[in-house]
Amino acid sequence: MSRPAAANARTAILAAALSLATLAAPAAAGAPRPPDRAGCDRPQWVPAIGSACPVPGGFLVSVGDDAVFTHGGDPVPSDRRADVGGDGMRKPACIKSAATEFHVHVIYARAPDVPDNFAKRLYMIRREVERMNSFVHQEAKEFKRSLDLRVLCSGKDILVDRVTLQTPLEQTSFSSVTNELFEMGYNSVMAKYAVYFDGRFPGAPGGTGTLDMGDSSSGPGNANNIGPDWSVTWGIPEGGAAGVMLHELGHNLGAVVRDAPNSSGAGHCNDGSDVMCYDDHGPYSDGFKANVCSTTHFDCRHNDYFHPKPGKSNFLYDHWNIAGSQQRFLAGCTYKTGVFTAGAGGADPEGEAELVRKQFPQEQRPQQTSFVAKTYTVPKACRGRAFTASATVEPPSSLTGSDAGALAEQVGYPVVARQVRFDVDVCWLKGSTLLRCHAGGTFEHGKVPSGATKARVILNAGVSAIVVLNVV
């Protein structure tokens, strides 16, 4: 089964804008979608979801000029899935540049007829985010790996934006919340928006989130590896909110794809006890078993969506893996990112073109004379571990339909498409001695050489791009 084309294409809008505003300001609006991908053209009212088009496995919800997929509302968990993190708390990996770093952006939202409890909820929301990050970190630690959510911060504290929406509480739906946030500018391709909605309207579920259930590809170009996505936790109190928030964020990150071994076929899995598993009455949920694992996991048996070190026989070895090095929204053993910019006219601003060329073996040596290169230290603990390096184009700060056409002329191809990726190469060095280079594809992956002390990331392009090197 394949996901409807409209939803399958939605996350990879190159023409969506990246905000260059201040830390707390959200990103600018995205460019219109092509008419053949408008998605939900005959919506109907669905309780709690709002205006949506029913499709196999869930619903398409129009957001701006695009359509996002959600399987629908998740009930408030009544079992062990509610207890995520316990008393364990761990600060996430803080990022500070919403414009140039992939991240989770936390929002406190309320209806206009609900009292503003931001001052009371702020501490609780931060604690719940730390609880779910601790849970993810501990899950990775079982495999002697380190993973943390990348979350937008202000200083050392998790940034929680304070938002008052326009729709009254009783008329609130997932569609109204996502569309209002989109219009307010919470629509960056760099972000997954984790929303704590303060209040529960009649028939409110525990949470609702968007995902791309049909893309199980393993590379960084997976549709779940870019924003914008939204997850909403509907007024769950402290102690239970972390489980719902992590479940909905798990959807945003790509759990659970339809062809995972224990998939329900409707965004969940059949192995209890698991944050992402319950009997959702999906097409494959007749295989649900409540007690496969004795304690709650973020992927019970670690073969459906999360394994930081899968073997070759594991589904996650060559399919989408939230814990894999290709994941942009979780930081591994080391995570390096930045905007690489080659000068106008193919100039070489770093003056390193020939040096970079010489680092490649003769048969792999690139012919281009313009490069952008940055060198990063490789921590000793990261040697021998899996890495992925990828580069995606950096759109201008305010990209409209006409601007998209201008950018298309600049880079020579349509920009309203899947994620546009540039060739990125990686050379590993021990001191000043070249060990080996990974080169030849739109992204590079493999294992960090055991003796490597430095990684030189190289972009062969004359345009600005965001480059990510993640080692897990």
Helices and strands of the chain, counted as H and E runs? 6, 22
287 and 146 together in one domain: yes
Cβ-contact 64, 182 below 8 angstroms? yes
Residues β-bridged to residue 59? 54, 70
Answer whether residue 437 is part of any domain. yes
Answer whether residue 287 is part of any domain. yes
Predicted pLDDT at 85: 62
Cβ-contact 460, 327 below 8 angstroms? no
Predicted pLDDT at 341: 74
Predicted pLDDT at 306: 98
353 and 408 together in one domain: yes
257 and 185 together in one domain: yes
What's the pTM?
A: 0.85
Predicted pLDDT at 302: 98
Predicted pLDDT at 365: 67
297 and 230 together in one domain: yes
Cis peptide before 256 (omega within 30 of 0): yes
Which of 287, 317, 347 finishes a domain? 317
- Compute and round to an integer the Cα radius of gyration of the chain: 22
54 and 115 together in one domain: yes
Q: What is the mean pLDDT of each run of 10 residues along the chain (472 residues)?
A: 30 24 28 39 92 90 88 82 72 93 97 97 96 96 97 97 98 97 92 97 95 92 92 90 95 96 96 93 92 93 98 97 98 92 51 62 64 86 96 51 40 39 86 87 92 88 80 98
Answer whether residue 63 is part of any domain. yes
Cis peptide before 285 (omega within 30 of 0): no
Answer whether residue 423 is part of any domain. yes
Predicted pLDDT at 367: 59
209 and 171 together in one domain: yes
Answer whether residue 328 is part of any domain. no
142 and 71 together in one domain: yes
209 and 284 together in one domain: yes
Classify residue 51 by its DSSP letter. Answer: E
Answer whether residue 190 is part of any domain. yes
What number of other Cβ atoms are within 10 A of residue 431's Cβ? Answer: 8
Q: Which residues of 165-174 are buried (b: 16+ CB within 10 A; e: fewer)?
A: bebebeebbb
Predicted pLDDT at 64: 84
Answer whether residue 435 is part of any domain. yes
Predicted pLDDT at 1: 29
288 and 357 together in one domain: no
Cα dihedral 141/311/386/450 (nearest 10): 100
351 and 214 together in one domain: no
Cβ-contact 276, 247 below 8 angstroms? yes
By C-alpha distance, which of 136, 83, 81 is closest to 268? 81
57 and 140 together in one domain: yes
Q: What spatial distance separates the first Cα and last Cα of the chain, rounded to whole Å?
A: 31
CATH code for position 424: 2.60.120
Looking at the structure of the chain, the number of domains it has is 2
Q: Which residues of 365-397 are buried (b: 16+ CB within 10 A; e: fewer)?
A: ebeeebbbbbeeebeeebbebbbbbbbbbbbbe
Answer whether residue 344 is part of any domain. yes
Predicted pLDDT at 151: 98
Residues β-bridged to residue 232? 195, 208
Domain span including residue 207: 5-317
Alpha helices in 187-258 (DSSP H): 241-253
Predicted pLDDT at 415: 33
337 and 313 together in one domain: no
